[in-house]
Structure 1
């Protein structure tokens, strides 16, 4: 038993399973600060009319002229559809999934490419607010007073400072105008004790100075889960305020200075499904299904976010050229207190993990570009950002001697783990871009050089007061000990890399109503490292390689029938060299442990960085980052139709096949050695190396096909008001998860709205039902039943798997005023 304890102490060092944090870095910010506009506003959702103006290419232009696939949602549409959370925007864009599985780590998936924030790598989909990149944990928390949201599909490598392989989400808040007092106020409430109050007002003091003030108070039940262990419920309260000062001393110069404060307090208990278990150690809980929306956590699950962000956007028209500049500073402090035993595998025992993550991000960018609309044009730009801050983790990693006794007997070795992870990430880039027009053919493109530097440090401190021994169970006394571990070998700490990215686009204007385009884009992501990776593992399990992406896309955009029908079609192919993903809960074998732990599996000194496989016995589980070659191909189609002045509808579909290449070998649990992932039976490592490797298919648990549609029908009364009905539907077919060994059912989420508004749109009263058909589906599930192993080989088995599920049916009402 003592030998088993020594071998498993390394699990304590790795227990946090955290990666070096790299909260989203700033990217090029040189677009004119003019808020995008849409002259036709009766449509809903991801419409593609030729009247929509976007800044996807950092220049305000009609959506039909942009050589890429883009979905757009205006602030007015978000308010009409009662979309109060940025994650709800996924209902307007097929193939986009915005999720939060734990209350802390928001993830974004687009075109089949997923991202785990704990991996430490930059996101597959970068998110920006007013052209300033921001971490998803902050951005997804509060959505109010929005001008427009643009979802840019496909690799980004030129227009913005940090490339991303799947796309970008740009959010523009409403800015002051200098000629009139405007504003809105909206109050909404739901039957599940949710409420949302938001509003904004524009105050012009002169034609040179104006202020816009906006605020939000939101309360909701998050994942709708009830904790049957302590009687509490999941819930979240968010408060945020924003003030923007607008300066326009002349027609040639415009600037905006924005300050935003956000404070969010979330209690999100983890939902479980399964039979539960009853044994000598106690009862984990009753049998629970997805309809129960229940948690069995005995400890807390609380997450706090307090953020400050200041942004300056300036635009100076100097005649033949314009200078755009941005300066921003974000300070955020994220806190977490969460019971690690989410499935209550050890009844009567709570192991609270506390994480504190403060970070500071200054961002600067200058962009000089030509103003002419002639046959030639272009510009240059420079960008810089740096992130600093130290993450601190404090948690117990106690080692139980046996699972044949309740936790109240205290038959475990108390172990405390502290992890310190300082962040020091710096990015500097320069880019040059240009365009040329030859008749109806337009060529545009450019090149960006990025220099990326990251200091990877992870210090882990493990200590125990020891154990006096317990003769009836054959437990010998254990002396107190303290062990310090550097989670990243010295040779791997300084990670500096550089890359060229960019692309070229060709657009042919067939006529005023039809454009055809073809594009090539190159992107990349810098390597990342796992924090507190177990000692003795090979370097490929500690630090990843670069990720490189090459993508080709062709498309057509246009309109017909006097713009009553608008359409956009795109087909694409993307090749990824070394796609970085995160593989959770992978069993490993540690052949080389420090002498302080008894010499480890092979009694190799800690100076040896790599060893040969040991006894192939499970020494713990960890979340590993790893590279795998992959391809992505598919098509996307959007139709926006306005048959009459009182009816319009939009349909968007996507078919995407994102797969690992046939030769890719990825970390997995393969207990029976057949080369396919499985977690049934006794944990074991198969094949050479520290972990098992499998050939996997999908890059993420998303189906190939997805669809989103919405419509509004108005009933003109000839008076001062107009009744209306709206609908929003999102469909996702069934998909089998190879890593989870689970078949996700198809999902059809239908939201309906009915109400009345004034003919001048000054007020609107709406009643709504979200998830009308009350479909309750699992959207994410753990790979295996929650278990905790004891030193004598016995196992605490909870009988549960953790899940996320669709929210149940929700009734609500909203009242809005605009002036």
Structure 2
């Protein structure tokens, strides 16, 4: 529901920026593609205005989630950028987003939009079925952002900065000016941010680090009262260095022989420097970080023409993104002095990741008529070309000369595996084309009733092909096995440069090992029916039934020729919701409630760390965050909000969200010791009974926020707080080598506080803040750390788990100056 914001920044196409002390129940939203008062819309909505973002020092979506219980970013494990709403989770590897993101009414990739949280007019978190009135289908909701538009009559702008602990430096600003007063104006906006995260490598002593540089230009053209045109271009640049946090006592120590080389002697806790690592230590044992350097270019264009009470709209979107990244599989530092990223980077580069959308819509302009309508055509096209290089296996000679009786040190020569690694190159090409036609009719019936019926017919194709081929690799064997030095020439080899004339090096020939080709068309129909009654201006009740659909997705990076593992089936869902919106005490107080149930047929879920037969390695490997399969589940939950603004200077609001995901009877991928993967049986499947919890995030979440302003002579002083509560999460337990290292995640609360001075007209503001003021350091969840890629546990247990923890206390200063139209 909505944690109402007291803030400025217009939300609708024609909404002007509101004063910061405007009544929250009068906020205007565009949830149904028209300007409507928040409390009049039969949809559960969370609103955060641009002024609220500024006042709470919010520049990333993780902090928006603090205001919107049930919404979370970073996934349950904090590792893959996942997004959850109403308990429904989507990860970047999960194909079409389950929670669409819109910027100026265009559906962009969530990653691109999350880099756009500056110079924002309003953010709306829409809950419940979407897709019959806007862009992409969704059952749990959508997130929409509108940027601040140029002012046609007056120049203005702002500049603001944040300076905080952990080397956080952030500056943003904008300037707007008319070119033809009343008809044409331009707005330029920019954002720069750099900061460290608390996670530090014990090997390099470096922290994880992020840098963002973003810019935007917006043009507004209104030649007459009946025509308006808005176009925006944005460029986003991001650089990240990431060390994954781990906990545990480290390796128990052992002596073992690699299958292709020397005996290794590994002392206890060798991979942690002899210490036990706790969650509050924020430590990593990676010698080489994961890195990424990405760019995205976004274009949105909105044209509206009004004729005879009707509006013809054309909306265009373009999103091109890509950039290289490297990832180290050695999160547990299984072999000191060697990291496979050094020798064979796993490079993921989107050479041509382009999304283009077109929408043509005819709508009635909302008025006092008996009925309103929207009809439209929509096109979504995706071109994705991805290259992913990783190690298929390590060859004889990788960890010491083969067949050596004497033990070798556990610190090896990094140059040796570099020579004796067998890389595999995955070429992935995906093409998605979605054509749809939709229609919505709203009947404004007597006695305050309103009936809305909508439908969308889609024609979807999502062909993809993955070709995996081994690259050049070198293996070594003792000459005695191949007949001495002449034997090297006999097998096309040469005397080993690293191990001497007693050994023979030979080149492994290139071969295609994977060829997945998937083509299928789908023609789904989704619907949404809502009946509401407005008993008065202060009381609305409603009921909604809606459906949704998502195409199946390819499982990127899963080296298998089994098409049932290489892709998922489509996902379908039906939602039922009842809700009310109310205000009282002369609209100084409000209470909103929604209860819902979602029935999924084939929900797309991530199944991580499941053993499967990897045809590239010809051995058992573990699935990653890119492996998805279908499961039938049911979601039940509620959302509630209560708020109170007794005076112009005091505001309080509280929000709660509860959603529980329970399985139906399913046959799902699993680790079954009695049925290990083989070439003919690439993965085990187990029967999962009904009622098993599928939540990634805590089922119960809540937030409380408030502000108090007080005049102080020529200034206004303010004090604000934001408290975010996360309930117990029984579905996450830390498992290290089969032993529970943590019980269920206990409940916890994070509190942010803000204070400062501002001018009465809001032209300038200077303040201080503390996020997580009580420094609550909680291990939110754990996942077993995978052994180094290609070794598959050869060197035994690591004694570590990757984890995601709450961020430690951040202390900062924020300053802002605005002028003119702002």
Q: Which band: TM-score by shorter chain?
A: 0.7 to 0.9
The 5-angstrom pairing of residues 706-745 of structure 1 reads: 706-717=701-712, 719-737=713-731, 741=735, 743-745=744-746
Q: Partners in 2 of 1:163 and 1:53 — Cα distance?
A: 23
The match for 2:437 among 430, 434, 448 is 430
The 5-angstrom pairing of residues 341-420 of structure 1 reads: 341-352=330-341, 353-358=346-351, 359-371=353-365, 372-399=367-394, 405=408, 406=410, 408=412, 410=416, 413-420=420-427
CA deviations over 1:84-131 (Å, ceiling 9, x no partner):
112221001011110168998421011111112123x21221111111
CA deviations over 1:739-767 (Å, ceiling 9, x no partner):
86552232211000111111111111110
Return the offset for 1:495: 2.3
What is the total number of aligned residue pairs between the two structures?
A: 744
The match for 1:650 among 643, 653, 662 is 653
Q: Partners in 1 of 2:479 and 2:789 — Cα distance?
A: 23
Larger RCO: Structure 1 or Structure 2 (Cα < 8 Å, ≥ 6 residues apart)? 1
Distance 1:65 1:476, change over 3 A: farther
Return the offset for 1:470: 4.8
| Map of 1:678 onto structure 2 | none
Q: Provide the secondary structure at the position in 2 that maps to 1:89.
A: helix
Return the offset for 1:785: 6.1
The 5-angstrom pairing of residues 370-519 of structure 1 reads: 370-371=364-365, 372-399=367-394, 405=408, 406=410, 408=412, 410=416, 413-439=420-446, 440-470=448-478, 480-488=508-516, 490=517, 493-519=518-544
Q: Provide the secondary structure at the position in 2 that maps to 1:78.
A: helix
CA contact (8 A) 1:125 1:166 kept: yes
Distance 1:233 1:32, change over 3 A: closer
Q: Partners in 2 of 1:642 and 1:327 — Cα distance?
A: 40
| Map of 1:544 onto structure 2 | 568
Q: Partners in 2 of 1:472 and 1:772 — Cα distance?
A: 68
Gaps of 5+ in 2: 1-9, 255-264, 400-406, 483-502, 736-741
Q: Partners in 2 of 1:790 and 1:329 — Cα distance?
A: 42
Return the offset for 1:481: 2.7
CA deviations over 1:688-726 (Å, ceiling 9, x no partner):
873242527222322221101100012223x22111111
The match for 1:640 among 619, 640, 643 is 643
Distance 1:355 1:214, change over 3 A: same
CA contact (8 A) 2:65 2:72 kept: yes
| Map of 2:173 onto structure 1 | 199
Q: Provide the secondary structure at the position in 2 that maps to 1:797.
A: coil
Q: Partners in 2 of 1:210 and 1:175 — Cα distance?
A: 9
CA deviations over 1:556-607 (Å, ceiling 9, x no partner):
10210001101211111111111111101211257xx69xx9xx7xxxxxxx
Q: Partners in 2 of 1:544 and 1:712 — Cα distance?
A: 47
Q: Provide the secondary structure at the position in 2 that maps to 1:529.
A: coil
Q: Partners in 1 of 2:786 and 2:234 — Cα distance?
A: 42
Distance 1:790 1:259, change over 3 A: closer
Return the offset for 1:379: 2.7
Q: Does 1:135 align with 2:122?
A: no
Q: Does 1:73 align with 2:42?
A: no
Q: Provide the secondary structure at the position in 2 that maps to 1:64.
A: helix
| Map of 2:298 onto structure 1 | 309
CA contact (8 A) 1:356 1:391 kept: yes
CA deviations over 1:503-553 (Å, ceiling 9, x no partner):
11111010111111111111111111223544454x432222121111111
Distance 1:801 1:472, change over 3 A: farther
Q: Partners in 1 of 2:478 and 2:202 — Cα distance?
A: 34
Distance 1:151 1:310, change over 3 A: same
Distance 1:226 1:338, change over 3 A: same
Return the offset for 1:220: 1.4
CA contact (8 A) 1:300 1:338 kept: yes
| Map of 2:259 onto structure 1 | none
Distance 1:511 1:549, change over 3 A: same
Q: Partners in 2 of 1:92 and 1:755 — Cα distance?
A: 21
| Map of 1:41 onto structure 2 | 20
Q: Does 1:779 align with 2:780?
A: yes
Q: Partners in 2 of 1:689 and 1:348 — Cα distance?
A: 33
Return the offset for 1:248: 0.5
Q: Does 1:809 align with 2:809?
A: yes
Distance 1:74 1:122, change over 3 A: same
Q: Partners in 1 of 2:155 and 2:522 — Cα distance?
A: 50
Q: Partners in 1 of 2:297 and 2:361 — Cα distance?
A: 25
Q: Partners in 1 of 2:78 and 2:726 — Cα distance?
A: 23
Q: Does 1:747 align with 2:748?
A: yes
Q: Partners in 2 of 1:399 and 1:101 — Cα distance?
A: 33
Q: Partners in 2 of 1:631 and 1:445 — Cα distance?
A: 24
CA deviations over 1:324-374 (Å, ceiling 9, x no partner):
111122221232022221221122222221111131122111100112431
TM-score (norm 1): 0.86
CA contact (8 A) 1:32 1:58 kept: no
CA contact (8 A) 1:33 1:314 kept: no
CA deviations over 1:377-418 (Å, ceiling 9, x no partner):
213101112111311112233326698753626479520111
Q: Provide the secondary structure at the position in 2 that maps to 1:276.
A: coil
Return the offset for 1:55: 0.7
The match for 1:208 among 159, 183, 197 is 183
CA RMSD of aligned residues (A): 2.8
CA contact (8 A) 1:50 1:558 kept: no
Q: Partners in 2 of 1:467 and 1:415 — Cα distance?
A: 9
CA deviations over 1:463-521 (Å, ceiling 9, x no partner):
34341225999999876232213341x4xx11211211121111101011111111111
Return the offset for 1:50: 2.5
Q: Partners in 1 of 2:98 and 2:734 — Cα distance?
A: 21
The match for 1:115 among 78, 90, 106 is 90
CA contact (8 A) 2:139 2:575 kept: no
Q: Partners in 2 of 1:738 and 1:638 — Cα distance?
A: 27
Gaps of 5+ in 1: 1-30, 601-617, 674-682
Q: Partners in 1 of 2:710 and 2:135 — Cα distance?
A: 47
Distance 1:154 1:478, change over 3 A: farther
| Map of 2:600 onto structure 1 | 576
Q: Which moved more, 1:233-242 or 1:404-413?
A: 404-413
TM-score (norm 2): 0.85
Q: Partners in 1 of 2:194 and 2:110 — Cα distance?
A: 19
